[in-house]
Amino acid sequence: MVSRAGRKTDAGFGKQSSRDALLQAVKNLMTRGGTIDVSLSDIAQESGLNSALIKYYFGTKQGMMIALVEDVVLADIAQLHHLLESDANPVEKLRSQIGAIVNVYFRNPYLNRLVNKLFEDPESAEILAERVSRPMAAVQRALIEQGVEQGYFRNVDPMLLYFMVLGACDHLFFGQRMLKVTFGLDIMDEQLRKSYANTILDLVMNGILLPKPAA
Amino acid sequence: MVSRAGRKTDAGFGKQSSRDALLQAVKNLMTRGGTIDVSLSDIAQESGLNSALIKYYFGTKQGMMIALVEDVVLADIAQLHHLLESDANPVEKLRSQIGAIVNVYFRNPYLNRLVNKLFEDPESAEILAERVSRPMAAVQRALIEQGVEQGYFRNVDPMLLYFMVLGACDHLFFGQRMLKVTFGLDIMDEQLRKSYANTILDLVMNGILLPKPAA
């Protein structure tokens, strides 16, 4: 099957795992290197696979990057639709959704940078907007609106909240040099990443809650 | 007078205004272009001044960029020290400080990107860290600690709060393409910038407040 982005999926034995190995190699390279510029030969070396397989599975490097974003984000998108239909408390539902976004970014700090790069190409932008960005933003908007209607949340602009959460997450990738120069921290380790994720989640959730939520 | 960064200041008639005109030209170019890559000839054209004046006033382009960051941020740094000595309510003091940071970024959306670029050079990094980044972070830390001690604030990590605020602000510069692709917004106009600044300030301040502040 070839998708609009030229992606090829293959259920043959051993082939799915080569596809996954290629995607994992890109994730490793971007996370370790703090850059989204990775070459085909870097990917081949990191995965131990021939770079011709990239063409086979993804058509182009661009197609591979789109597949990577979908791979990283889609599981959470599915969760999000599930949240909308749930009868749980709006506070818990929004906390789950923002927590899922924050966690995706913390496992994949290059994500926003990569998405932004892909947005430069109109065709890739439309694919990603349709499959990833708009669904995420739409679910968050619906969850916030539920909470506002039911008297739990302040009346914030969902678009601006979404924009702020992504900016705070993105800074994890971009702001490391600032941490080093300003605070003398050489790396942001796993523990600090977790603390930062929790700080974002707590501040945003406490920030959106009305002082006296409905019973 | 020549500073460590090779900056020259000059009290001669008309000269200060040429210096300011050069800095203003860079601000205009970066804000309009959404990029920190501006050439000497762009600066000359935008300011209507000879690019040799850049060497005269700032020594190098790097020196000019350091002077720009100081020019943009220093007035607020002064304010911040004033805040520490004030007897005002910790909530109002922190709101003023974060509000000042947010406003500087909203008037100068290229700021974080430029600072990060300058941080690549160890000498520039140390100058900016000493004059700008560490004082800002230290004042914010002291204000948060005051508020925690006096029972107004949750016990957040001041470094992570600072990091989150800068990330949210920085996204204004970096995230515009996301806004366009995801929400169909062509530009973030003045009104939307202001709404976003208020959203950040309100969410962070509401987020840090304890449910029942001390009387």
Q: Which of B127-134's residues contact partners 24+ apart within 8 Å by CB, and which partners?
A: B127/B4, B127/B5, B127/B66, B128/A181, B128/B66, B128/B69, B129/A181, B129/A182, B131/B70, B131/B74, B131/B77, B132/B69, B132/B70, B132/B73, B132/B74, B132/B77, B133/A178, B133/A181, B133/A182, B134/A182
Option in A129, A159, A199 nearest B157 (CB): A199
| Residue-level pLDDT at A7 | 44
Q: Is B36 on the interface with A (CB under 8 A)?
A: no
| Residue-level pLDDT at B188 | 74
Find the radius of gyration of the CA atoms of chain B: 19
Contact A203 B202 (CB under 8 A): no
| Residue-level pLDDT at A10 | 46
Contact A175 B170 (CB under 8 A): yes
Mean of the pLDDT values across residues A176-181?
A: 83
Could you report the per-residue pLDDT of B148-186, keeping only the tens digit for each?
999 999 999 999 999 999 999 888 777 778 888 888 887
Is the pLDDT assigned to residue A172 strictly greater than 80? no
- Residues B200, A209 contacting (CB under 8 angstroms): no
Nearest to A95 by CA among A74, A79, A106, A110: A79
For residues A56 and A64, what is the distance between their CA atoms, to the nearest angstrom?
10
Averaged pLDDT score across all residues of chain B: 85
C-alpha distance from B106 to closest chain A C-alpha (Å): 14
Contact A200 B115 (CB under 8 A): no
DSSP 3-state of A108:
coil
For residues A87 and B136, what is the distance between their CA atoms, to the nearest angstrom?
44
Is the pLDDT assigned to residue B199 strictly greater than 50? yes
Q: Is B177 on the interface with A (CB under 8 A)?
A: yes
Mean of the pLDDT values across residues B39-47?
A: 95
Side chain identity at B54, as an amino acid letter? Answer: I
Nearest to B94 by CA among B61, B53, B141, B33: B141
Nearest to A45 by CA among A25, A60, A62: A25
* DSSP per-residue string spanning A151-183: T-B----HHHHHHHHHHHHHHHHHTHHHHHHHH
- Residues A49, A21 contacting (CB under 8 angstroms): yes
Q: The pTM is what? A: 0.83
Alpha helices in chain A (DSSP H): 15-33, 40-47, 52-58, 61-85, 90-107, 111-118, 122-128, 134-149, 158-174, 176-183, 190-208
- Residues A136, A73 contacting (CB under 8 angstroms): yes
Could you report the per-residue pLDDT of B92-150, keeping only the tens digit for each?
999 999 988 888 888 888 888 899 889 989 999 999 999 888 988 999 999 999 999 99
Residues in A closer than 8 angstroms to B139, CB to CB, are none
- Work out the number of other CB atoms within 10 angstroms of the CB of residue B91: 17
Is the pLDDT assigned to residue A77 strictly greater than 90? no
| Residue-level pLDDT at B204 | 93
Residues in A closer than 8 angstroms to B207, CB to CB, are 202-207
Residue B189, C-beta contacts closer than 8 angstroms, at least 6 positions apart: none
User: Which candidate in A115, A121, A203, A209 is best for mutational testing of the B interface (most B CBs within 10 A)?
Assistant: A203
